[in-house]
Structure 1
C-alpha cells in the first residue's frame, strides 16, 4: 500500500488528499499525519526538504512536491483530473496561477508567524496584492476552466479555503462575489468536506 505523509494545515498536502478521494484511491493510499516542524525521521528520510506532502509508493520510492504527487496519482487512475490540462497551454497557465496563489497565501502566513519586529509590511502587501490580482483574474475567467472537475478546481478551492483558514481578515468572499458563487457549488463535495484544513 502507498503512503501519503501529510499535515492537516498544509494546503499542498490537502490537494493530494483531495486527489486521493476524487480518484477513488482510498484503499490504495494510507494517509499518515506528521508535523514537518517536528522533523520526523520518516519524512526526512523520504524527503530531504522535510516538507509535506510526500508520497511513498509500493516500491518504496518517495515522490514529493504536491504537483508531482497529484500527477502521479492521476496517471495511475486513468488521467482524470489533468485530462483537460496536460496538452492545453492556457489550462496549464491557469493551473500554474492556482499554484502561485497557494504560494503567496502560504508565504503571507509564514511572515505573519514571525515575531512582530521581524514581520515585513512590504512583503505582506506584495502577497496580498498578488492574491487580489490572481483572484480577480479567475473571477473574470471562470467560464474558461475545464467543464469537468479538474486539478484547477482542486487547487483554486484549496486556495479559497486556506484564505478563510489562515487569513480570515482578508474576507475574500466579500471581495469576489462571482468567485464565491462558484466556490459554493463545490464546497459540499465529500472530498472537500473531508479534507478541511485544521491547525
Structure 2
C-alpha cells in the first residue's frame, strides 16, 4: 500500500527528477502517482500546494513536502533511514544538483516566454537564459571527470534537465558539439528509471 502521494504532471522535468529517484531507490511502489493540471484551480493540487506547482509529495508522517530539490532530499533520506545510518552529506553532489536546477530554471523561463504572442516576446531575455545554460554546459564538457558515475540526486537532475532541454528547446542543439556530455547523457538515459519516465 502506498505511503505517499506524488502530485505531478507527466511532462514536468521537476516532477520527473522525483519519479526517477523513487525508481532508483526502490521505493516507487510506496508512492501513489496523482496526475494533475496546474491550471485546475479546483483540483487536488491546490489543496496540498496552494502555489499550484508540481511536484508536491503528500506523506503520512511529515505532511506535504514541495519543491523538487526538497522532495529528492526527503526521499533520499527516507531510504537511508530505512536501511541504516543516514548518508554523509555530499557537498559536491548538492552543488551539482543546484547547477542542474539553475539550468532547468533558465530553460523554463524561456519556455514561459515562448507562450507569449510572438511580437511580445523578449529575445534578449531568451538569449540571456540560453547563455547561462551554454556556459554551464561548456564547463561540464571541459571537465568530464566531474560527471557523476552513480545515480545521485545531482546526476538525476542533470540527466532530466538535458533531456527536457532537448524536448522543449531542440533548436539549442545542446549536445551537438559536446561529445563528453553526449556520451554521459546517452548512457544515463538507458537506465530503466529514465525510460519509464520519458515525457510524452
Shared fold per TM-score greater than 0.5: yes
What residue is the counterpart of 2:48 in the other structure? Answer: 46
2:170 to 168, 182, 189: 168
* 2:58 alignment counterpart: 56
Give the 3-state SS of the residue equivalent to 2:65 in structure 1.
strand
Alpha-carbon deviations, 1:130-167, whole Å to 9, x = none?
11001111112231244422111101101110011101
2:123 is the alignment partner of 1:134: no
1:104-146: CA deviation from partner (whole Å, max 9, x where unpaired)? 1111111111111221101100011111001111112231244
Match of 1:70 among 69, 72, 75: 72
Distance 1:92 1:76 in 2: 17
Question: Does residue 100 of the first structure (1) align with residue 96 of the second (2)?
Answer: no
RMSD of the TM alignment (CA)? 1.9
Write the distance in 2 (CA, Å) between the matches of 1:25 and 1:124. Answer: 38
Q: Give 5+ residue unaligned stretches, structure 2.
A: none
114, 117, 128: which one aligns with 2:116: 114
Tell me: CA distance 1:143–1:83, structure 2 relative to 1, closer, same or farther (3 Å). farther
- Matched residue, 2:187: 185
Q: 1:91 touches 1:145 (CA, 8 Å); kept in 2?
A: no
Equivalent pairs counted in the alignment come to 195
Contact in 2 for aligned 1:34/1:40 (Cα 8 Å): no
Aligned residue number for residue 29 of structure 2: 27
CA–CA separation in structure 1 for the residues paired with 2:62 and 2:154: 29
CA contact (8 A) 1:5 1:34 kept: yes
Residues 47-98 of structure 1 deviation map (CA, whole Å, 9 limit, x = unaligned): 1110000000024711100011111111110179x957x242x433222111
Would you identify which runs of 4 or more consecutive aligned residues in structure 1 move more than 6 Å?
A: none
Give me the TM-score of the superposition, normalised by structure 2: 0.90
